[in-house]
Amino acid sequence: MKVDGRRLRSERTKQLIVEAYLAIIRENPHTPVPTAAEIAERAGYSVRSIFERFPDLHTLRVAAADYALAHAAALAPARDVDGDRATRIRSHVETRAGTCERGISLWRSLLLNVDENNELKARIKVARERTIERMELMYRFELDRLEAAERRNTLIALEIITDIESWARLREVYGLSFAEGCAAWVAAIDRILPPTPEGAHLS
C-alpha cells in the first residue's frame, strides 16, 4: 500500500493537538476550557493549524474524548475475570481507580461542556456503559443470582460508588491515599454484592 506522507503528517499534527489539549486540561483541572491560542502554543503550531484540522473547539473536545476513551480502554484491560471473589474485587478496584486517577480532569471538562454538545453526551454515556459492562463481567457469578430489578439496582449503586467523581472525592475531599481509596471501594463492593455461589470461580 502506498503511504501518503502528507496525510500521515496531517494525522500526526491532529494527534499532537489533541495531546496538547489533554495536557493543558490535566495541568489545570479547575479551568478545563483551554483557548485555541493556549492549545496552539502548547502543541507548537499556529491557531490556524488547529482550525484547519478541527472546525471548532467542540470538535476538538470530541476528538480528545475519543482519544482518551481509547487510551483508557487500552490501559485498563479486564484482569482476573475468573479469579475468586476477593481477587476479582481487588483487580476491578485497582484498574478502575487507575482509570479515574488518570481521567478526572478530562471528565470534568466533558461535564462542563456537555450542555452545548450532544456528541459529548454520547461519549459520557459510552464511558458509563463501559464501567457497567466491566462490572457485569467481573461480578457475573454474583449478579447472575439476582432478580432483574435487584440486579439493576446493584449495578447502578456500584456504578455510582465507583464513579470518577466519587474517586476524586475520596482523594481530594477526604484526603485518602490511593491505597486507602481502593480499600474503601473494596469493602463497599464486597458488602453490596450478594454471596458468591460455591465453586463459581474457575481459577
Partner 1 sequence: MNPRPMKVDGRRLRSERTKQLIIEAYLALAQDLSPRVPTAAEIAARAGYSVRSIFERFPDILALQVAAVDYCFAQVSALAPPRGVESDRETRIEAYVQTRAQTCERWVRLWRSLVINQGDSPELKARIRLARDRVTERMELMFAPEFALMQPEERRQTLIVLEALTDVESWARMLEFFGLSVDEACAVWVQAIDRLLPETPGGAA
The single residue among 23, 69, 72, 112 that binds partner 1, judged by CB under 8 A, is 112
The single residue among 82, 157, 177, 197 that binds partner 1, judged by CB under 8 A, is 157
Q: In degrees, to the nearest 5, what angle opens at C-alpha 135 toward C-alphas 199 and 85? A: 30
The single residue among 13, 87, 166, 196 that binds partner 1, judged by CB under 8 A, is 166
Residue 43 has, within 13 A of its CA and on its CB side, a CA count of: 24
Contact between 125 and partner 1 by CB under 8 A: the answer reads: yes
The single residue among 52, 133, 144, 150 that binds partner 1, judged by CB under 8 A, is 150
Is the CB of 40 or the CB of 106 nearer to partner 1?
106
- To which residue does cell 500526526 refer? 12
Contact between 6 and partner 1 by CB under 8 A: the answer reads: no
What are the contacts of 138-141 at 24+ separation with CB within 8 A? 138/78, 138/81, 138/88, 138/89, 138/91, 138/92, 139/88, 139/92, 139/189, 139/193, 141/85, 141/196, 141/197, 141/200, 141/201
Chain residues that interact with partner 1, rule: CB under 8 A = 30-31, 111-112, 115, 125, 128, 149-150, 153-154, 156-157, 160-161, 163, 165-166, 169-170, 173-174, 176, 183-185, 187-188, 191-192
